[in-house]
Amino acid sequence: MLENIRLSFQGIWSHKMRSFLTMLGIIIGIASIISIVSTIKGTNEQIKENLIGAGNNSIQIELYQGDSAYWMDQGAPQGVSAPNQEVLEEVLKIPEVKSASFYNKRDYADSIYYKNTSMDGGKLLGIDRNYLSAAGYDICAGRGFADSDYTQIKKVAILDDKAASTLFQHENPLGKTIELKGEPFTVVGVAKASEEFEPVINSWNDYYTYYGEQMAGFVLVPTASWPILYGFDEAQNMVLQANSTEEMSDAGRKAAEVLNTNLVSDQEQFGYKAQDALEKAKNLQKLSASTNNQLLWIASISLLVGGIGVMNIMLVSVTERTSEIGLKKAIGARKRTILGQFLTEAAVLTSLGGVIGVAAGNVLAKVISRISGTPAAISIPAIVGSVAFSMLIGIIFGLLPSIKAANLNPIDALRHE
């Protein structure tokens, strides 16, 4: 067997040009499969990272009206009960939930100013002490809210980094006074998502998925100070943190159930829904996989064509080497031996093509990823599978020529010059 493999390499090497051309079909097929699989894998990893891998495992639970989130730009809807402290306790009892916090929210708060600079499309949140950790924010400058901020109802605010850069550009926001609905609030801190990520935007869909929520900045004030701005308005939203990424879906779903059982509403269509990032990621992955699967099928056709090319050349090779085969049979080689020799040769040829194809595919994937910005990730199972599959192609398409070689009549074969 080893001897056969060595001889095969010798044969391939002595016909470098022909061997390369024979392998080309396999190389192209495997290279396209590898680059497609790498791109799929890279995209999937990117999607997962963008949506859930922000590292903090936090889930927003929002009030929905029908199928869309209720825009809190006018405050909580009329006639819908607000969840109370007992509901929060109940949510915290869910095993998958690590921490949870209610918050007040205004979408598109339109009256946030620093001097003459306004922030459009920002969000204003009234938060309790747990919010920052549950939502996965770290204070990167200044301080968080202290107990005294709540007890003394201080007019203080924390900006997220986007709001800080929108309102203050290069100025240091700490200690400055901003205007919220005409009320002066002192900036005491700047918060930043604990794990930053840079989403890759390839389409409007991606844009909405990744940036719809995040482009505009946040201004956070203590819940105690919320009534200064909007009167006594109940918190309607919840953020919670799951123990792990895998438990995010369950944590979100169970918490939403708890909230919904406690929801009293005179209108049917109100309900809480968790923003299920894991599910969303899976759906997006499926979508990208299904389009790429079609590409995979097309690439597989090129492998088939490559295999037929190998068969063709092997048949020529058998004819060419008729006298060699005849001699070998005359001096005592069995059919099996000849069959094995030619099958090994075909398998070595295509495996070599597979290996070159894998290398070329990885390079191709890197190049595509450079040019188009889609990420690529090397998939070990795909590499092993491709090489094994190309070997299989060699065996399948080498079978016919090898049988032909093994069945040659040594007398005719020897006479052949």
- Answer yes or no whether residue 328 interacts with other proteins by CB under 8 A: yes
| Binding piece for other proteins, criterion CB under 8 A, among 90-98, 213-221, 270-278, 328-336 | 328-336
- Answer yes or no whether residue 11 interacts with other proteins by CB under 8 A: yes
- Answer yes or no whether residue 48 interacts with other proteins by CB under 8 A: no
Of the residues 175, 182, 231, 332, which one makes contact with other proteins according to CB under 8 A: 332
Residue with Cβ nearer other proteins (115 or 334): 334
Residue with Cβ nearer other proteins (170 or 336): 336
Residue with Cβ nearer other proteins (260 or 322): 322
| Minimal distance, residue 334 CB to other proteins, in Å | 5
Residue with Cβ nearer other proteins (21 or 411): 411
Residue with Cβ nearer other proteins (14 or 116): 14
- Answer yes or no whether residue 203 interacts with other proteins by CB under 8 A: no
Of the residues 157, 216, 310, 333, which one makes contact with other proteins according to CB under 8 A: 333
User: Mapped to the 3 state alphabet, what secondary structure does the chain carry?
Assistant: CHHHHHHHHHHHHHCHHHHHHHHHHHHHHHHHHHHHHHHHHHHHHHHHHHHCCCCCCEEEEEEEECCEECCHHHCCCCCECCCCHHHHHHHHCCCCEEEEEEEEEEEEECCEEECCEECCCEEEEEECCCHHHHHCEEEEEECCCCHHHHHCCCCEEEEEHHHHHHHHCCCCCCCCEEEECCEEEEEEEEEEECCCCCCCCCCHHHHHHHHCCCCCCEEEEEHHHHHHHHCCCCCCEEEEEECCHHHHHHHHHHHHHHHHHCCCECCCCEEEEECCHHHHHHHHHHHHHHHHHHHHHHHHHHHHHHHHHHHHHHHHHHHHCHHHHHHHHHCCCCHHHHHHHHHHHHHHHHHHHHHHHHHHHHHHHHHHHHHHCCCCCCCHHHHHHHHHHHHHHHHHHHHHHHHHHHCCCHHHHHHCC
Of the residues 21, 308, 384, 411, which one makes contact with other proteins according to CB under 8 A: 411
Q: How many residues bind other proteins (CB under 8 A)?
A: 22
| Binding piece for other proteins, criterion CB under 8 A, among 7-15, 166-174, 223-231, 390-398 | 7-15
| Binding piece for other proteins, criterion CB under 8 A, among 6-14, 79-87, 149-157, 303-311 | 6-14
Of the residues 1, 264, 331, 371, which one makes contact with other proteins according to CB under 8 A: 331
Residue with Cβ nearer other proteins (254 or 329): 329
- Answer yes or no whether residue 330 interacts with other proteins by CB under 8 A: yes
Residue with Cβ nearer other proteins (17 or 331): 331
| Minimal distance, residue 14 CB to other proteins, in Å | 6
Residues near other proteins (CB under 8 A): 3, 10-11, 14, 323-324, 326-337, 410-411, 414, 417
